[in-house]
Structure 1
Amino acid sequence: MKLHHTLLASALFVAVPQASAGDWQVSVGGFYSTSNTTMDVTSPLTDKSIELDFERDLELSERELLPYLNLSYAFNDKHTVYFDWKSLRRNATKEKVTKPFETDLGGDQKYQVQAGAKINSTLNIDIARIGYGYTFYEDNNWDLTATLGAHVMWLEIGFSGEIGACVDNNCSGPVTVAPNTSIYKDATAPLPDIGLVAEYKINEQWSLIGHGQYFYLKVDEISGSLIDFNGGAKYQFNDNFTASLSYSYYEVDVDVDGKLSDLNVNFNFHGPMFTLQYEF
């Protein structure tokens, strides 16, 4: 099964801030996402793989305002640790499904959703990032920081409603539809990352900021890749308070090979985001 999630959103993972020794920094913000999500399922009409579009076929909302939080601590001018989090949670009801499909999302049982069925859909994604930054170069204009950390993704996918359970995973014969059937899959995927953060000071108030992160991992039943980069501008109101506007691109591809069912997830965010940052 393959889930492809495309979001038009501002997914700024705030660049590791440059701070003096013993400084805490808190950043809060939001991004307005436009989403396109697809998942590979099987057509009961052709018995071939097809794409199920969560927005077009299941009526999940395309646009959402999503929260963002970042917390960092600078031990000194060189060493910083950071944590951030963002979340996308959506539910929708399709009164009459127009594209029938079959899936083994629930585990060792295969299910069928027939044309005309009423289906409730859930897609929840939470992403947390924790890591360490080392500033290896700085002058009057430039600060360059190398990062090492991990993204952890929590994914929940579910369907409920008029769903039929296939007999012995064979959906070619008669399938008895139950009105309140639920199928559900969740997964947790840790993805290490390495990256580079850059800040260029234009003057006392304005700076250009950006970062890029990438990693590929294959361990036991989990494999995946991560791409995360952004660029934007930061305005310094005073010594403690700044605002940032950035354009970001974030993509994760995760494969989880379970004993009962497989899960392949691919999604990306891209777009603008606004954050406010306070240092104390």
Structure 2
Amino acid sequence: MIRPFFYFVMLALLVPTAYAASNHNKHNNHASVETDTYTFDIGVFYANSDSNIIVTNPKNGGTFPIDFEDEFLLAEEQYLPYFEFKYAFNQRHNLYIDWKSLDRQADNNSISQDFILEDIDGKDYLIEVGAKLNTELNIDILRIGYGYDVWQGTNYSVGFSVGLHTMFIETSFKGTIGTCIPGTDLTSLCSNVVDTPEVVDENFTAPLPNIGMYAAYEFYSGWEIYAHTQYFAIEYDDVDGSLLDVRLGVQAKFCENWSLKFAYNYYDVDITIEKKRKLNGGELRTFDYNIDYSFTGPMFAVSYAF
């Protein structure tokens, strides 16, 4: 929590600093008339990723997390694209949308531990030590929202936002995979391990609403420091999730409509879905399907505003 706390402090510092620097221009600012602005950002970010999924121990029926980067050999560090659009109107109002794509695939010629992928499309699947496995994890993150500038001046703005982060998650496992027959408790009997490739797919969508705060301060003509933080946690019915998205950056205008942006982003989301299956006329809780995903790294973008 040290890094998120640091960014919250940075946001808090931007408010009094910007206010003091532009207080003498307050009267002129009230008299000014702002025009609507459309801003498009296209860039890349360097993601240092960490992701895991909860699986079942075939020996005792217990569950444990397994790491996509360590066990399945997915790339931990990579450059990925992102797109962002912002519409600023009526001086204080902002609409925004952005998208990030994180697609990864890797082969492991020898899995190091036994585990069961439980309750995928009503079936259980066994992957044993030494099995060859091709793993794919694709995550698309769509963020939409609305922001309102509560405080603003000729060279600063501070506001609050509400929005929605939606994660579209696709997992795929291909290789030597056994079929399991569910038992009457949390353990499973697995048989029919085959040498021919079998594909196990799991797709789901995880929407998370959020609230946030943002700030921008022009400290020199054409140079601006900006930051935002967004957070939300929810526990409802069979879904439990949390989200933290923090960004701190600098923008430099190099001509009338074009700017360069450099930022540092911290993003962490943890989604747990409680899964149940019907068995012998009753309902049995199997396990919690969990995706814990985070990435940390710099971002670079070219921005066009008109």
TM-score, structure 1 normalization: 0.86
SS of the equivalent of 1:256 reads strand
**Pair 1:216-2:242 in alignment:** no
Distance (Å, rounded) in 2 between the aligned partners of 1:277 and 1:105: 45
Q: Which AA in structure 1 matches 2:62?
A: K
Aligned to 1:276: 302
- Specify which of 175, 190, 196 is matched with residue 161 of structure 1: 175
Q: Which AA in structure 1 matches 2:242?
A: S
CA displacement at 1:142 relative to structure 2: 2.2
**Pair 1:102-2:128 in alignment:** no
Farther off after superposition, 111-120 or 81-90: 111-120
SS of the equivalent of 2:141 reads strand
Distance (Å, rounded) in 1 between the aligned partners of 2:147 and 2:61: 50
Distance (Å, rounded) in 1 between the aligned partners of 2:106 and 2:119: 18
**Pair 1:199-2:199 in alignment:** no
Larger Cα-atom Rg? 2
SS of the equivalent of 2:176 reads strand
Cα deviations by residue, 1:221-256 (Å, 9 ceiling, x for unpaired): 433221111112111223311111111111112222
Q: Which AA in structure 2 matches 1:100?
A: D
| 1:2-21 equivalences in 2 (<5 Å) | 20-21=34-35
SS of the equivalent of 1:44 reads coil
Aligned to 2:25: none
Cα deviations by residue, 1:147-197 (Å, 9 ceiling, x for unpaired): 111111111112121111112358665622122222221111111111111
Distance (Å, rounded) in 2 between the aligned partners of 1:80 and 1:54: 37
CA contact (8 A) 2:80 2:101 kept: yes
- Specify which of 77, 99, 124 is matched with residue 85 of structure 1: 99
SS of the equivalent of 1:104 reads strand
Q: Which AA in structure 1 matches 2:202?
A: K
Q: Which consecutive segments of 4 or more residues in structure 1 shift more than 4 A?
A: 169-174, 258-262
SS of the equivalent of 2:177 reads strand
| 1:154-193 equivalences in 2 (<5 Å) | 154-169=168-183, 173=189, 175-178=191-194, 179-193=196-210
Distance (Å, rounded) in 2 between the aligned partners of 1:187 and 1:177: 27
| 1:10-89 equivalences in 2 (<5 Å) | 20-45=34-59, 47-89=61-103
Q: Label 1:20 to 1:279 Cα distance change in 2 as closer, same or farther (>3 A).
A: farther
Distance (Å, rounded) in 2 between the aligned partners of 1:278 and 1:256: 40
CA contact (8 A) 1:110 1:169 kept: no
Distance (Å, rounded) in 1 between the aligned partners of 2:200 and 2:90: 50
Aligned to 1:135: 149
Aligned to 2:266: 249
Distance (Å, rounded) in 1 between the aligned partners of 2:78 and 2:256: 33
CA displacement at 1:52 relative to structure 2: 1.7
Cα deviations by residue, 1:183-213 (Å, 9 ceiling, x for unpaired): 2211111111111111111110221111111
CA displacement at 1:45 relative to structure 2: 4.5
Q: Which AA in structure 2 matches 1:243?
A: L
Farther off after superposition, 19-28 or 139-148: 19-28
Q: Label 1:169 to 1:108 Cα distance change in 2 as closer, same or farther (>3 A).
A: farther
TM-score, structure 2 normalization: 0.79
Farther off after superposition, 81-90 or 47-56: 47-56
Task: Name stretches of at least 5 consecutive residues in structure 1 with no aligned partner.
Answer: 1-18
Aligned to 1:5: none
- Greater RCO (Cα-Cα under 8 Å, separation 6 or more): 1
Distance (Å, rounded) in 1 between the aligned partners of 2:62 and 2:190: 18
Farther off after superposition, 261-270 or 245-254: 261-270
Aligned to 2:125: 111
Q: Which AA in structure 2 matches 1:27?
A: D
Q: CA RMSD in A?
A: 2.1
Q: Decide which structure has greater helix share.
A: 2
- Specify which of 119, 126, 136 is matched with residue 122 of structure 1: 136
Percent of matched pairs sharing the same residue: 36
